């Protein structure tokens, strides 16, 4: 919090900085809780100046989700985003998170996500196509969102193939990738989802409960896609409680075959983690590839 950044924050927020403290949990940006002289608290993310596109994409995604979120599902509000000296800075409204709640809390979160997905259909952006008006990021990896009329082709080309092309740069040779892409195309050929606005990176670290029967989601990687991608990732990396999924299905049941598509959709995130972090993620990727190649295509 150098003088230039403090001066910029005061100009943007209309109040002086009283104190600041680091907030843990992220692996890309440094994060801070700021206490302002007028009593407000805000959340600030900082990184090197070159990372400004990541923060701009995050602000764009939060605003898009907030426009269709039901009242009980909150998102941090982008308050300012800019390059300040040699830093990129994003200022968000502060959310008071509460400890893990009970099944009723998580069921309500599932219902709220279903309402967000359904409400986004009425928005009509994209005119029935899959993608987004800009590329953004999944973690720190560029996420390609060029519009496509066909969901299966979009997922194969914009998601899986894009990640697979990066594997050699990670000194990893994966066997059977073309067979994999053909099999995924076959597995998704008969699936014709509606292009809802998805969070895109909905693992358990990007959602939380709030006081007063509300919940929040954040750190999105938005695009218009199959709503099942959010439900699939919610099962990855520890996953959400079962009540979350039952709550979602009470509000908007999933179509037949959804559980079989979980591995298809989560391969994208496993590939991304392997490309970013290496290690045991590659073994998970290889196992998932072989599982999908061997899977029988529905007749």
Catalytic residues: 201
How many Å apart are CA 19 and CA 41, to the nearest integer?
10
Nearest to 219 by CA among 50, 71, 90, 40: 90
Residue positions counted in the chain: 299
How many Å apart are CA 200 and CA 227, to the nearest integer?
9
The token pair at 200 is 């895109």
DSSP state of 14: S
How many Å apart are CA 109 and CA 73, to the nearest integer?
7
The token pair at 28 is 């890309």
Nearest to 17 by CA among 6, 30, 28, 2: 6
Which secondary structure element, helix H or strand E, spans residue 216, and what is its range?
Answer: strand 214-217
How many Å apart are CA 154 and CA 265, to the nearest integer?
12
The token pair at 65 is 């989700």
Q: Do β-strands 141-143 and 196-198 pair in parallel, antiparallel, or remain unpaired?
A: unpaired
The token pair at 82 is 């800019």
Which secondary structure element, helix H or strand E, spans residue 18, and what is its range?
Answer: strand 17-22
DSSP 233-294: HTTSTT---HHHHHHHHHHSPPPTTHHHHHHHHHHHHHHHHHHHH-TTHHHHHHHHHHHHHH
């Amino acid at each position: 919090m150098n003088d230039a950044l403090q001066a910029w924050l005061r100009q943007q927020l209309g109040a002086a900085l009283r104190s600041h403290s680091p907030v843990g949990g992220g692996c890309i940006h440094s994060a801070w809780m700021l206490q302002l002289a007028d009593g407000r608290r805000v959340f600030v993310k900082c990184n090197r100046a070159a990372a400004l596109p990541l923060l701009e994409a995050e602000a764009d995604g939060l605003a898009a989700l907030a426009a269709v979120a039901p009242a009980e599902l909150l998102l941090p509000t982008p308050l300012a985003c800019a390059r300040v000296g040699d830093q990129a800075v994003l200022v968000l409204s502060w959310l008071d998170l509460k400890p893990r709640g009970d099944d009723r809390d998580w069921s309500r979160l599932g219902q709220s996500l279903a309402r967000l997905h359904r409400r986004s259909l009425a928005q009509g952006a994209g005119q029935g196509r899959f993608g987004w008006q800009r590329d953004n990021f999944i973690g720190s990896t560029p996420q390609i969102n060029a519009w496509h009329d066909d969901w299966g082709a979009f997922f194969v080309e914009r998601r899986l193939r894009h990640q697979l092309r990066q594997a050699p740069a990670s000194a990893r040779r994966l066997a059977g990738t073309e067979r994999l892409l053909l099999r995924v195309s076959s597995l998704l050929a008969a699936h014709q989802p509606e292009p809802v606005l998805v969070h895109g990176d909905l693992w358990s670290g990007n959602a939380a409960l709030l006081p007063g029967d509300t919940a929040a989601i954040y750190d999105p990687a938005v695009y218009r896609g199959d709503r099942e991608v959010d439900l699939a990732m919610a099962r990855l990396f520890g996953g959400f409680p079962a009540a979350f999924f039952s709550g979602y299905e009470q509000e908007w049941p999933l179509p037949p075959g959804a559980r079989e598509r979980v591995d298809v959709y989560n391969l994208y995130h496993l590939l991304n983690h392997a490309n970013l972090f290496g290690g045991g993620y590659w073994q998970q990727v290889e196992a998932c590839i072989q599982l999908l190649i061997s899977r029988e295509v529905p007749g």
